[in-house]
């Protein structure tokens, strides 16, 4: 599943290629995504200049002059930049044509992605309005996490996976960040101290930031292998040796999600 780093790397890759270009048309081959694609999408975007590409959580926001194109990659979606005449293959549902001959193609085998046209302030849209602070922004820190966590009695892993608390921390990155911070995923959020929340916020930034940095070296959109290979420290390594102490990594389920941690290194 594309996580925040994949979405950010997609954005970074598209900005220099597409910002400043104008949309010519959209070919819709399959409209039945998670939310049906507007049948008049092509006439809505035609002739508009792409002013910027922003990201909020795992949503990409294309600023199209008094309108926004919102794209979420869902479970299996990715965006490819191709020359105009590239023939579509299976699961290539939408093509956005630009005035320089480039084509932005939306490919999504499981069709859980979203392509929506928005007007008005996108941050007020129901899909975006309640998303918490961006973990890679300057505004995210341990104090913010502590303010929310101290008032709740949920497992810390579930707290940081709540997109209203912090944007875009998926299961893999939550496991990894808690290992880096040395905090057990089962700890009750209200019991963590401010310094622990600071360590955790820094760990979240570092695991996501490292993945964005590393992903930037992949040509993600020209390849169907769009998701980064991860050298996970704990996720997917239940029963294997802890990379820090050599003890056996414990695997459990929290909130019905696979959770792996070291009982010695994380408390
Ligand atoms: Zn350990």
- Assess if residue 254 is contained within a domain: no
Same domain (yes/no): 147, 225: yes
**pLDDT value at residue 88:** 95
pLDDT at 184 over 90: yes
Q: Of 2, 5, 122, 185, which one is the catalytic site residue?
A: 2
pLDDT at residue 219 is higher than 60: no
| pLDDT at residue 224 in the model | 44
Give the Å distance between the CA of 242 and the centre of ligand 1: 5
* Active-site residue, 198 included: no
Q: Are residues 8 and 121 in the same domain?
A: yes
Looking at the DSSP bridge assignments, the partners of residue 52 are 63
Q: Does 253 reside within a domain?
A: no
26 and 120 in a single domain? The answer is yes
Instruction: Indicate which CATH number applies to the domain containing 189.
Output: 1.10.8.50
First to last CA, the chain: 29
Which residue segment(s) compose the domain that 174 sits in?
A: 142-232
Q: Per the residue annotation, which of 3, 8, 186, 196 is the catalytic one?
A: 3
Q: What is the pTM of this model?
A: 0.90
**Active-site residue identified among 25, 205, 257, 263:** 257
Q: Is the pLDDT of residue 9 over 60?
A: yes
Active site residue 48: no
| 23-77 pLDDT per residue, tens | 999 999 999 999 999 999 999 999 999 999 999 999 999 999 989 999 999 988 9
Task: Tell me if 81 is assigned to some domain.
Answer: yes
- 3 included as an active-site residue: yes
Low-confidence winner among 163-177, 183-197, 223-237 (lowest mean pLDDT)? 223-237
Predicted local confidence at residue 228, as pLDDT:
60
Quote the tokens at residue 139: 């505004």
> What residues sit around ligand 1, an ion, with C-beta below 5 angstroms?
242, 244-245, 247, 262, 264-265
Q: Which of 77-86, 126-135, 198-207 has the lowest mean pLDDT?
A: 77-86
Assess whether 39 carries a catalytic annotation.
no
For ligand 1, the distance from its centroid to the CA atom of residue 233, given in whole angstroms, is 10
């Amino acid at each position: 599943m594309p996580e925040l780093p994949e979405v950010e790397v997609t954005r970074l890759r598209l900005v220099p290629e597409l910002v400043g270009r104008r949309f010519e048309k959209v070919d819709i081959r399959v409209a039945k995504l998670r939310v049906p694609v507007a049948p008049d999408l092509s006439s809505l975007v035609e002739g508009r200049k792409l002013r910027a590409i922003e990201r909020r959580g795992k949503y990409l926001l294309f600023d199209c002059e008094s309108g926004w194109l919102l794209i979420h990659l869902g479970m299996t979606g990715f965006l490819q930049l191709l020359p105009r005449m590239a023939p579509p293959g299976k699961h290539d549902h939408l093509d956005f044509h630009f005035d320089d001959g480039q084509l932005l193609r939306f490919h999504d085998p499981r069709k859980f992605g979203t392509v929506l046209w928005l007007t008005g302030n996108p941050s007020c849209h129901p899909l975006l309005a309640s998303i918490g602070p961006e973990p890679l922004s300057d505004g995210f820190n341990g104090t913010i996490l502590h303010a929310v966590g101290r008032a709740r009695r949920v497992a810390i892993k579930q707290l940081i996976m709540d997109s209203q608390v912090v944007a875009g921390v998926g299961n893999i990155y939550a496991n990894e960040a808690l290992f880096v911070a040395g905090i057990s995923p089962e700890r009750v959020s209200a019991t963590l101290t401010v310094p622990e929340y600071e360590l955790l916020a820094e760990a979240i930034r570092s695991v996501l930031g490292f993945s964005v940095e590393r992903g930037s070296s992949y040509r993600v959109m020209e390849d169907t292998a769009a998701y980064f290979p991860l050298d996970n420290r704990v996720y997917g390594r239940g029963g294997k040796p802890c990379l820090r102490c050599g003890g056996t990594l414990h695997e459990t389920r929290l909130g019905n999600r696979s959770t792996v941690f070291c009982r010695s290194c994380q408390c």
